[in-house]
Structure 1
């Protein structure tokens, strides 16, 4: 049993892909739309149809997997964009807090300088080694001013 004589082989190989070389033991070209061919037995046709079904199912699964991966990539890109925005917001907040800390540190340093400034005290009873300066005794008001930093 041979194939149809005088027909050129299809440019499509047994794998269904154009441009591929057919396998060394290539099956005869069969047009399944014109009924069964005498070159393929019924069991060969059944095997061919089963392979075609498997190929269609694998193709469907590949498409489904591709769509699923595209959706996952899209979801991850959305999560990445949201995380980048959140990070930018945190940076802005940190910069604001750093400025507040700098201002508070400067105010604290200034307050510490006022607190650490020696308060003028009246001299104790004059000793023989110290000459007596004429310093009036401090009043209560200047001490109150020092106690309240501005």
Structure 2
């Protein structure tokens, strides 16, 4: 049996003990469990991988694929109102740059519903949930568990 996964994208993100290679070892034993750590990321641009080095435990070991992108930024905002305005402004900036499909991803389904309610009168946004069965271009709002 082969198991492939990314511990940094675990659905058990708040319970690291549940999401570890130790769990597999306890199920199958050390003699039949072998670990290969893949460190090359083909998913994100180099600038995104470099940005996450400080945010993810062991992130400095991730090697970016040399695909160019914009440098990530981290912004601290005063309150939720400022956050909502900044998200709407960023979406509009992406549209001006020519992007037709833009995803706003929240941590939880509840946060995505709250964000949808706050943004729906400012920008044309579509809430994506577990029950969503089709994909359309536009501004999409989802939780990380319902990744687009």
TM-score range, shorter chain: under 0.3
- Structure 1 or 2: more helix by fraction: 1
- Bigger radius of gyration, 1 or 2? 1
TM-score (ref. length: structure 2): 0.15
TM-score (ref. length: structure 1): 0.15
Relative contact order: is structure 1 or structure 2 higher (C-alpha 8 Å, sep ≥ 6)?
Answer: 2
